[in-house]
Chains A and B, each alone.
Chain A
């Protein structure tokens, strides 16, 4: 049996100065706003206090260290360690989210106002990456449905399109001579998927505001879909009639569908999706676990796709 001894702190484990400074800057802002929230709503003054949710899983959490150091955020580089290294350069405050398209109330929402006016919940979700690994992450956020309701989509709105901020000066991946994707990153959901109670906009994890590498200041989390659907650092949300273009689908349409529902029976053309490795479980001797239909959320979401051929709409 392998006995793991606690190891000395590695340089890679020390949070870079710019990241913790920006986090502090954030916390200062968040403390201010939660104070306002406390005054108006009578909640306790913790930076991102969040109510528990029946949608949370009770599985063992992936460590904060792993959640914040093993990321796919190609705007900051294609290596898993790149986002933690370089995402500190993204300025996430002030931040506005533009909401436009087929809505009764198009608007530019200031993020602080948005957080202040939302009821935050902790949602502990499984996250399954299309590459075959998974995590369990305690997000803090609010249902996307709350926001959708507020902007009053028109009857003609069938889809919701999302766009990541596009700032080459702050995102080294956007300056690369080999553009990995057609920037900016875009994602989309059908309107009924968008208003499903499991779909959230996350503004934090592990009880704090989001680290930049995880998509600060606001990102999408759709737990029954592959992780790449969870678009990060959202700057625009548009309500549209036609299925919107999405970044990975555009890059390789035969590999990444619009739906991208976790499905162990439909393989990626280049690898199997039947099993996954849970990050932090077993180290070098990790044991694969079976991937569950809709990432284990079939009971809640299977109805959204009844009658659809999931091999065709992957």
Chain B
């Protein structure tokens, strides 16, 4: 079901000029390159490690949200960006990986005891780590070969884990801050809206047959 064959549907699609997918990666990595460049040149403020760590995590969440926005955009506004979804999802994974590496190498200095204690004792790190672990199989199977090997249905079922990852990422952000500042709540609201949309739609579809009895 993946690929372009499924796209030319009955709805008239909003036609966007197609850009090469590689461009999505190139543009997607601009924030990371810029952050590292500024970090190495000591331009990330008084606490550069923390700035880098948080910015990378935030970009991971943003790309995750972008990935989840593809389907509602298509269904509600007939904007079809499906061909870029894999790139966006993989970017979310790469940023999550950079975020994790920054935490392990720069923040904790590869102090495995401290990292282990954090994962076990700190719910926000437990959740962050679990979120990353969920993203790994999704990233590994984000290629045509995997879809072919697994079969479309099994692949789609596995990739529904992205919903869990999005909840984990939003929660991880809320739990890391003091008090209830607006920014993490705004991201959590967006995630809730994107997942809530799917829930409502699937409930509606399930309810439909009952509404028209034979």
Contact = CB atoms under 8 A, between A and B. Distances in A.
Interface residues of B, number: 34
Contact of A271 (B40, B44, B50, B122): B122
Interface stretch (A20-28, A118-126, A150-158, A282-290): A282-290
A133 B44 CA distance: 16
B175 A283 contact: no
Contacts, number: 87
Contacts of A279: 46-47
Contacts of B41: 4-5, 7
Given A131-B178, A178-B185, A284-B40, A272 B114 contact: yes
Contact of B179 (A180, A267, A270, A286): A180
A80 B39 contact: no
Nearest to B118: A272
Contacts of A248: 178
B48 A284 contact: yes
A181 interface: yes
Interface of A is mostly: loop
A117 B16 CA distance: 73
B118 A286 contact: no
Interface residues of A, number: 41
A288 B179 CA distance: 25
Contact of B123 (A74, A251, A270): A270
B182 A284 contact: no
B214 to A, nearest CB: 52
A280 B43 contact: no
Interface in A163-194: 176-178, 180-181
B182 A270 contact: no
Contact of A66 (B46, B52, B122, B180): B46
A297 interface: no
B114 A284 contact: no
A314 interface: no
A4 B118 CA distance: 32
Interface string A70-88: 1000100010110000000
Contact of B42 (A74, A180, A255, A283): A283
B109 interface: yes
Nearest to A282: B49
A80 B45 contact: yes
B106 interface: yes
B180 A180 contact: yes
Interface string B51-94: 01000000000000000000000000000000000000000000
8 contacts: A2-B40, A7-B41, A69-B45, A70-B47, A251-B179, A285-B106, A286-B49, A288-B109
Interface of A: 2, 4-5, 7, 10, 12, 65-66, 69-70, 74, 78, 80-81, 130-131, 133, 176-178, 180-181, 248, 251-252, 255, 267, 270-272, 274-275, 277, 279-280, 283-288
Given A267-B121, A272-B122, 16 more contacts: A4-B42, A10-B43, A66-B46, A69-B46, A78-B181, A130-B178, A131-B178, A178-B182, A181-B179, A252-B179, A272-B114, A274-B114, A277-B47, A283-B49, A286-B106, A288-B111
Q: Which 9 residue pairs spanning A and B have beta carbons closest together? A: A70-B46, A66-B46, A78-B181, A284-B39, A180-B179, A178-B182, A284-B48, A279-B46, A286-B49
